[in-house]
Amino acid sequence: MRPPPKARATRGFPDEEETSPMNLRNIAIIAHVDHGKTTLVDRLLQQSGTYRDNQRVVERAMDSNDIERERGITILAKCTSVEWADTRINIVDTPGHADFGGEVERILSMVDGVIVLVDAAEGPMPQTKFVVGKALKLGLKPIVAINKVDRPDARVIEVVNEVFDLFAALDATDDQLDFPILYGSGKNGWMGATVEDNDKGMRPLFDLVIKHVAPPVVEEGPFRLLGTILEANPYLGRIITGRIASGSVKPNQAVKVLSRDGKTVESGRITKILAFRGLERQPVDLAEAGDIVAIAGLTKGTVADTFCDPAVENPIQAQPIDPPTVSMSFIVNNSPLAGTEGDKVTSRLIRDRLLREAEGNVALRVAEATDKDSMEVSGRGELQLAILIENMRREGFELSVSRPRVVLTKDDNGQLLEPIEEVVIDVDEEHSGVVVQKMSERKAEMMEMRPSGGNRLRLVFHAPTRGLIGYQGELLTDTRGTAIMNRLFHGYYPYKGDIQGRRNGVLISNDQGEAVAYAMFKLEDRGPMMIEPGWKVYRGMIVGEHTRDNDLEINVLKGKQLTNIRTTSKDEAVRLTPPIRMTLEKALAYIEGDELVEVTPKSIRLRKKHLDPNERKRAEKTKEMVA
């Protein structure tokens, strides 16, 4: 492939910025998870001259978070910018998981256009529908890019028709339905007007952005900026990123912060203004309306607040965020092994960390429980909460967390409502029967079944959120790892009744110490283990899964009885079955209401909420009496 001719590739030094103000375009790249957003940004940065010719560049440069790199997903929205044909294009890379939809909803208020990236084989998926719907309501004009057209199972024409049908179903205007289309491969670094037009690199996409996306609308009046992304910096303190709606701002300028209801949160001075130049943020001496910048110097302003000139009285209206659907209890770790692996174990430290997270994540709600030793955290889904827990354990926290619970509500007539999700499952035809059966057991209603190419079916369900907790692993087992499930919040609907949970009981340790291989070998007929020999266990800790539906206390500490009598027969070799490996997400989905997951920087353990067996019996009797 012949590389595209490079545009004037300035490096964005502050003095250049002041002497020659540039045309601006602000765009967001939105798509379903794994459709190639971050890889596309990589190619845009490379072909715009942002990198030096000899510069070593990591793959998926925008995924800077460790967990993002490990999992291959985007969790946090991030900004970058490129220069093309004397125009600066600010690009926002957004998450693709519905659990992080709060990030996407905030970001769309900063941009004037969107690139809707769609996989040429999978077509529009639930998260595509979610973010496109939000973008269309804001009046943003989309550019559709059909990605991965080089896939052997690509179905380009059908996917274009599906995108048009999706736009029409979301009540797009005539202008929005008249969207331009590009075809290409982000991985191979090209986009074109046709599938065969693959020799111009990313130039057609750059040119189309400049032509199709309108310049930012600049309002009259003094400086105003709506906070969109919050982060902490050890040197600069709180950094707020957003788009300047009106006026201009300089370092040391006096500003105030208005909350959503118009109350003054604080007043202060801006210490530094950072503009996005490629992957770097560079200090500038002046930022004007329309540009996306980060400002530092204020200590209380947060996301959805308006940062403005002291003369401004009315805040910028922030977009409403969809409510959380799942909640969990974050509890102080009170197990016998508490404090042995982490250094942040007190309720005060856990509370401060969760409140700090809620400041920057508008899709998260944190409330203190009545017992003062736990916090109720509500979010969009188990994945969002699991990522938060994973970040906390990497920071040295120890805590216990409960099973995810759905957030129920009531309508005006007092009827109980629960969150319902739209579930899209792509599965081989031979496994479709078991999927339909399992979903019906979880009170799901099938809305659609159609072929998706390659002897696969696309099944669409409306299912209660509580029925989907823990189903991902079971789905992969039932379909031999071939099914793909995607979920999206659909709305609140009448409560659908009881859903059967885990069918098996658990094996519980009846003493504290280190597990012994001999004891575990003798207990293997009771059920598969979740621990290995030498692991520390304690009374009330879950060490395995029972083959029956009741819980059973066992002794995994009992060693072989030794004698001083020699025999000619050799001892039996102890060969243990490999244990069940519990990841954080798997553990959260596995536990029941009377169990907890103990999370430390080194371990993930399952335990009963009441470690003492007598307390467990009393709690069970109390529960039965209440019922």
Q: What residues are designated binding site for GTP?
A: 34-39, 147-150
Using an 8 Å Cβ cutoff, are 309 and 225 in contact? Answer: no
Using an 8 Å Cβ cutoff, are 493 and 420 in contact? Answer: yes
* Cβ atoms within 10 Å, residue 382: 22
* DSSP per-residue codes, 548-591: SSS-EEE-S---PPP-S---SSPPPP--PPPPPP--HHHHHHH-
First-to-last alpha carbon distance for the chain, in angstroms, is: 70
Residue numbering of the annotated binding site:
34-39, 147-150
Using an 8 Å Cβ cutoff, are 512 and 340 in contact? Answer: no
Helix (H) / strand (E) containing 246: strand 237-246
Strand 552-554 vs strand 374-379: parallel, antiparallel, or unpaired?
Answer: unpaired
Using an 8 Å Cβ cutoff, are 305 and 260 in contact? Answer: yes
> Which residue type occupies 184?
G
- Secondary structure class of 105 (helix, strand, coil): helix
> Which residue type occupies 256?
K
Give me the helix-helix angle, 382-394 and 347-360, nearest 10°: 130
Phi/psi of residue 110, each to 5°?
Answer: -90, -15
Alpha helices in 260-381, H assignment, sequence order: 347-360
Contacts with 569 (C-beta within 8 Å, 6 or more apart), sequence order: none
Alpha helices in 48-99, H assignment, sequence order: 66-71
In SS3 terms, 262-288 reads as CCEEEEEECCEEEEEEECEEEECCCEE
d(CA 395, CA 612): 30
186 to each of 35, 79, 145, 257, 533, how far by Cα in Å? 10, 18, 10, 40, 48
Tokens of 557: 């500490």
> Which residue type occupies 546?
H
d(CA 191, CA 149): 10
